[in-house]
Amino acid sequence: MPSPTTPAAGPLDAESLRERVNAALAEFMDGQAAQLDKISPQLVPATAALREFLLDGGKRLRPAFCYWGWRGAGGAADTAGIAEAAAALELLQASALVHDDLMDRSDTRRGLPSVHRRFEALHREHGWRGDREQYGASAALLLGDLLLIWCDELFGRCGLPAERVLAAKPAFDLMRTEVMVGQYLDVLEPVAGDSADEGAVQRAQTVLHYKSAKYTIERPLQVGALLAGASPELVEAYSAFGLPLGEAFQLRDDLLGVFGDPAVTGKPAGDDLREGKRTLLIAHAMRGLPTAEARHLDGRLGAPDLTPEEIPGLAALVSRSGAADAVEQRIAELMHQSLTALDAAPLADGPARAALLALAEAATVRKY
């Protein structure tokens, strides 16, 4: 239940919603830290790392879509428990990011060391025995799993009526399954996929849908709606709005992963190139380049010996292929499709439409 320090319930703007979600996460982490402290004081660095990872930064997009999905379905703004239910999605997001950074060998997240790098540093500072990198990877794997367990725990005891939580649970569970299999397909493509074959674009599209688009927008909207007892018509309308918007969000992220400014993204320049991500942007680039250049991009993408000096050249190939322009055009088409669906959605709450429009713009209008 909300603590005395939780911001007062009531109609929320973007900042007050963030405050309520952050307060719910902080209160939840206080309880989890106390529980882990009873097990062993050696767990203090783990809970400290998770608290910092959860509470320092993050756009809170998924909780926001969940909350406004709730409001659009007639959920009252001042209902205790909706911020906690929405915050559970942020625990799922944190779990996915910890694992994603480990799989991608990322050094940073939001401008700070990634979790596996943080625990590698802890190993080094204490002069512990064994393989430092293996310890960091093991710690990140287990802590990401812990966050995944905790997201289910917070959702289940958010404080909303049990029958409403039970009604939303299938969508919540499906969302978790989709993001995990999307992650697997993303890992599979660089090792088993052929970037030159006709199926590369379709496979990239599948990864985009399940790793990001559904999980970022469509499912959070539907979870919020089902928590409020939404009609099947509204749940379907949220899909028509959320899926193209989620695709546009990920396409914007793909552009940022190649061309983004590290000061904006919190990640090294060209990080997707270094990690070898076979995004829809890259699939289009392979098809738009002459054979020799496509072969070069394919061979150097994610190569173990790829140097920082090579990144600008690879980014230039992607730009020269016309893929970036094609992706920008696709984002515009998807936004039109999404906003048309929002206009037609049978929302029960007037402010929800304006809030969802603002969220759509925030999710897709991000600069390089």
CA distance 280 to 243: 16
Tokens matching residue 49: 């790392």
Question: What phi and psi values does residue 348 have, to the nearest 5 degrees?
Answer: -90, -10
Q: What are the distances in angstroms from CA 12 to CA 20, 56, 79, 355? A: 9, 21, 12, 10
- The three-class DSSP label of residue 366 is coil
From 184, 317, 163, select the one nearest 226 (Cα to Cα).
163
CA distance 144 to 92: 9
DSSP 8: P
DSSP 79: -
- Beta strands in 110-259, from DSSP E residues, in sequence order: 112-113
CA distance 222 to 212: 15
Tokens matching residue 304: 């173990």
CA distance 213 to 244: 8
Per-residue model confidence (pLDDT) at position 12: 56
Q: What are the distances in angstroms from CA 158 to CA 80, 91, 352? A: 9, 13, 22
Q: Amino acid identity, residue 110? A: R
Cβ contact 201:280 at 8 Å: yes
Domains of the chain: 1-56+80-159 (no CATH), 162-368 (1.10.600.10)
Per-residue model confidence (pLDDT) at position 263: 72
Question: Taking each helix axis from N to C terminus, what angle separates 162-192 and 200-207, rounded to the nearest 10 degrees?
Answer: 150
Question: What phi and psi values does residue 14 have, to the nearest 5 degrees?
Answer: -60, -40
Per-residue model confidence (pLDDT) at position 8: 37
Q: Mind giving me the DSSP string for 268-336? A: -TTHHHHHT---HHHHHHHHHS-HHHHHHHHHHTT-TT--GGGHHHHHHHHHHTTHHHHHHHHHHHHHH
Cβ contact 139:123 at 8 Å: no
Per-residue model confidence (pLDDT) at position 78: 82
- Quickly tell me which residue has 């230039």 as its tokens: 316
The series of mean pLDDT values per 10 residues for the chain, 368 residues long, is: 37 77 96 96 96 87 96 92 97 95 88 93 96 97 98 97 97 97 91 77 90 94 98 97 95 91 74 87 92 93 91 94 94 96 91 94 77
Question: Taking each helix axis from N to C terminus, what angle separates 291-300 and 280-288, rounded to the nearest 10 degrees?
Answer: 150
Per-residue model confidence (pLDDT) at position 7: 38
Tokens matching residue 168: 């939303």
Tokens matching residue 142: 């287990």
